[in-house]
Amino acid sequence: MDEFYSEKALEHFMSPKNMRVIETADAEGDYGDPECGDYMILYLKVDNEIISDIGVMVYGCPASIATASMASELAKGSSIEDALHISEQNIIDALGGLPEHKKHCSLLAVSALRNAIDNYKKKK
């Protein structure tokens, strides 16, 4: 696995950040990939339009776990509007790259985050 994944990606797979359910979340969003079977649920706590806490549950491969972990770190502490601009490439770059055949995993994280933000905005 080391020859395909960067140190940073391995770190986020082996010790993922923010992997938990937030029972008192202000919003949640999910996304799944029917081709590979990976699935992600993302939970947001929002204070004054800032993502104050974030939790993620991932059912998937190491790349999905790493991208979810990194997406949560990039979004935590940012405004709702800034978090909407986190892209698949931002996540891949922050992880130091991903194998070509695993880059699609970053779409799960971005989509779950955007779905959670959309659900938050609908509640307002």
Domain annotation covers residue 20: yes
pLDDT one-digit tens code per residue, 21-80: 999 999 999 999 888 899 999 999 999 999 999 999 999 999 999 999 999 999 999 999
Q: Average pLDDT, stretch 75-92?
A: 97
* The predicted structure's pLDDT at residue 79: 98
What does the pLDDT read at residue 89? 96
More confident residue, 56 or 106: 56
Share of the chain above pLDDT 70, in %: 98
Q: Would 2 be classed as within a structural domain?
A: no
- Within a domain: 101: yes
Domain count, the chain: 1
Give domain status of residue 22, yes or no: yes
Q: What is the CATH number of the domain that holds 58?
A: 3.90.1010.10
Please report whether residue 116 resides in a domain.
Answer: yes
Q: Facing residues of 45 across strands?
A: 53
Residue 36 lies in a domain: yes
3-state secondary structure the chain: CCCCCCHHHHHHHHCCCCCCCCCCCCEEEEEECCCCCCEEEEEEEEECCEEEEEEEEEECCHHHHHHHHHHHHHHCCCEHHHHHCCCHHHHHHHCCCCCHHHCCHHHHHHHHHHHHHHHHHHHC
Distances in whole angstroms, Cα of residue 45 to Cα of each of 50, 54, 55, 78, 80 = 8, 6, 9, 12, 11
| 19 in a structural domain | yes
Q: Which residues are catalytic?
A: 36, 105
Cα–Cα distance, 113 to 14 (Å, whole number): 22
For residue 82, tell me if it sits in a domain.
yes
Output the pLDDT for position 3. 55
Give this prediction's pTM: 0.93
Q: Which residue range is the domain that position 17 belongs to?
A: 7-123
Q: Is the pLDDT of residue 123 over 50?
A: yes
**Residue 47: per-residue pLDDT:** 98
Angle at 67 between CA 78 and CA 8, to 5 degrees: 95
